[in-house]
Structure 1
């Protein structure tokens, strides 16, 4: 039994580029609460965070950007090339991350928790878990993913991959190994099979129907999107974004590895959706699609409200909504539900500002809302 006796905690690790985050999000779709310990480590050394001054003192002010934030790329060039430097950094950051993980789990409502951490086995976290899962992929696949998804140069990608311990050291310690080399659907089926072994039969996957609303003369339903909805979601993208690239069912299946969907149905037909993710305690709505035949100002607030409910359940501190220009003009509607248009530099908390910059969408207006006053990370 782990440190948190009322929870079932999965420790999820694997070398860089093996798809840990995809597997974590799959578990979140199934009802687990996901924690990205690596993102917490980044947050622990942000400006004014407790790890900031010790790291600057250890490595020098040259690692800082002009705005005073730590440039992680510069820091990475030091620690990934020097084992002693990496050890010094970890001695500063790991206790802060462990404290944050403890706070978040103690506040979570979900029974199953998944902690994603690349250094899971090298820290005390693994001893607190009930099960250890490891993702694996061939070396060349790891490098290709880093180049494609993280925009690294090939030489930087190879340095990152080669700086890590051999993969077999992780897989040999695993209770579950996820070979993440096939399609999203193949990996999904593997994760579902393992999930069903740990979740009692009485604990079913959350129902798809979230709520049913009536506005004026029509009734609509809001449903939680499932991988099984991939074909109709792809059809909606292709119908409402005809100038964009064509989406296939497989494209949407893969998107479930990055985000969650809330679907709007009128008379059983899919008429709209929002897609969002909660990363590092910040909600980021990155896609909004609304059929012009539907009155957006009647339906969109309900979708956003349900997104906020789900986000608060995941302890999200703030909501960032990237609104397409056609819907950004509904200023009174956005104001009524508590949002205001902002530019990322206007956001006061560095972690929220960083999330806004990371998730920025072309041809959209950023609307912002703080979801809670008692910030989860403030205790550390």
Structure 2
């Protein structure tokens, strides 16, 4: 692929640029936008994808900043690179000059490939680069520094010192707010964030009425969207083909079964089930679960007044991840679990998901492993997956879990 520079114009799409300092609630807003059918694109994750898998980007970074920043497998050690560029403003500018053209290329491809009329691009440095020029509106999230630190300690497991250091290293929030069309304050409960989001969403213009937007892109090496490892690829195709032939379980739906997205009013019941299903090993506080609601959806299976199944899931980069499973054994476990999983798969399909990955807790391998296998899921070694799927799994897999996948769309496996 050449380094050709060209412009790409997007018509009949409303493009929103979402930014904000670290831990100010951007993920929550992205999650809400995805639920409304938007094509959500995380530019910062694209940077990670390029550093992990684009050989031209990797080589350029190694030449500019030294071979020590490259791992044995060729990927970039972001910690070592960060130690260089975050202490040298000029070095950071050099890095961005290498990365940003490739990021714009991938963003443009993802906008073009989706039929969604509304696009949300999240980037922490959105306002400093050219991506802002492709946006009809700029949305900024904000909250107090105390709230930022709480989120970093709970959601990322950082200690207070590291959290404070990262928050203090960010530019003043006021700089972003001054350039915003919409400001969403996430300092309160999730319900408050949702209210602000839906008010802004309701005021969006119709896609057919907005002016076309143009993005200048330069093709720096191969786009990540076209990379797939050759080794093992045919084996993966075979595994997918075999799995697709599995006749899924036919479970009569129990009378009175409700399958729905969890609401804040369900929190007491959810917390109780989490404790029961794990024999008291998982004990979350209400505030922690509310915060988790901004990172993923919880789909519950309820018979009568009793919730017996909870699956927590999210979707990003067209990969749906079921990363939390709480199941209370009963005579109706399988039909309830089947109905909940079906709801998630249907939602993933609506969001043009390519794959669903289930992280099976090692202490529940027996029942859950067998269940997912009968639903067409199979174990897989990460190194035979397309790179973008590998990255999605590596970035989200909880500890002490096994990976099982079900491919919803196999077009990526047939790309050259």
TM over 0.5: yes
- What is the alpha-carbon distance in structure 2 between the residues aligned to residue 145 and residue 225 of structure 1? 21
1:337 to 364, 375, 379: 375
- Root mean square deviation, CA, Å: 3.3
1:25 Cα deviation from its structure 2 partner = 1.7
Superposed CA deviations along residues 154-184 of structure 1, whole A, max 9, x for unmatched, are 6665664455443222110001112232233
Matched-pair contact (CA < 8 Å) for 1:178–1:187: yes
Superposed CA deviations along residues 60-81 of structure 1, whole A, max 9, x for unmatched, are 2201233332111111111111
- What is the alpha-carbon distance in structure 2 between the residues aligned to residue 229 and residue 32 of structure 1? 27
Structure 2 residues not aligned, in runs of 5+: 1-7, 207-248
Deviates more, 1:174-183 or 1:38-47: 174-183
Structure 1 residues 41 and 190: CA distance shift in structure 2, 3 A:
same
Specify the alignment match of 1:83 in structure 2.
Answer: 89
Specify the alignment match of 2:49 in structure 1.
Answer: 43
1:294 Cα deviation from its structure 2 partner = 4.1
Matched-pair contact (CA < 8 Å) for 1:231–1:248: no
Specify the alignment match of 1:314 in structure 2.
Answer: 351
1:12 counterpart SS class: strand
- What is the alpha-carbon distance in structure 2 between the residues aligned to residue 18 and residue 311 of structure 1? 26
Structure 1 residues 238 and 192: CA distance shift in structure 2, 3 A:
farther
1:121 counterpart SS class: helix
Structure 1 residues 267 and 248: CA distance shift in structure 2, 3 A:
same
Structure 1 residues 159 and 74: CA distance shift in structure 2, 3 A:
farther
1:253 to 290, 293, 296: 290
Superposed CA deviations along residues 210-265 of structure 1, whole A, max 9, x for unmatched, are xxx98347344433444554454344334434513444554433222010122223
How many residues are aligned here? 364
- What is the alpha-carbon distance in structure 1 between the residues aligned to residue 310 and residue 14 of structure 2? 32
Q: Which has the higher contact order (CA 8 A, sep 6+)?
A: 2
Structure 1 residues 25 and 308: CA distance shift in structure 2, 3 A:
same
Matched-pair contact (CA < 8 Å) for 2:153–2:159: yes
Structure 1 residues 260 and 347: CA distance shift in structure 2, 3 A:
farther
- What is the alpha-carbon distance in structure 2 between the residues aligned to residue 294 and residue 93 of structure 1? 54
- What is the alpha-carbon distance in structure 2 between the residues aligned to residue 60 and residue 160 of structure 1? 25
Matched-pair contact (CA < 8 Å) for 1:319–1:368: yes
Structure 1 residues not aligned, in runs of 5+: 201-212
Specify the alignment match of 2:310 in structure 1.
Answer: 273
Specify the alignment match of 1:372 in structure 2.
Answer: 409
Structure 1 residues 263 and 374: CA distance shift in structure 2, 3 A:
same
Specify the alignment match of 1:205 in structure 2.
Answer: none
Specify the alignment match of 1:206 in structure 2.
Answer: none
Specify the alignment match of 2:234 in structure 1.
Answer: none
Q: Does 1:218 align with 2:224?
A: no
Specify the alignment match of 2:364 in structure 1.
Answer: 326
Structure 1 residues 76 and 214: CA distance shift in structure 2, 3 A:
same
Which structure dedicates a bigger proportion of its chain to helix?
A: 2
2:39 to 12, 29, 33: 33
Matched-pair contact (CA < 8 Å) for 1:81–1:163: no
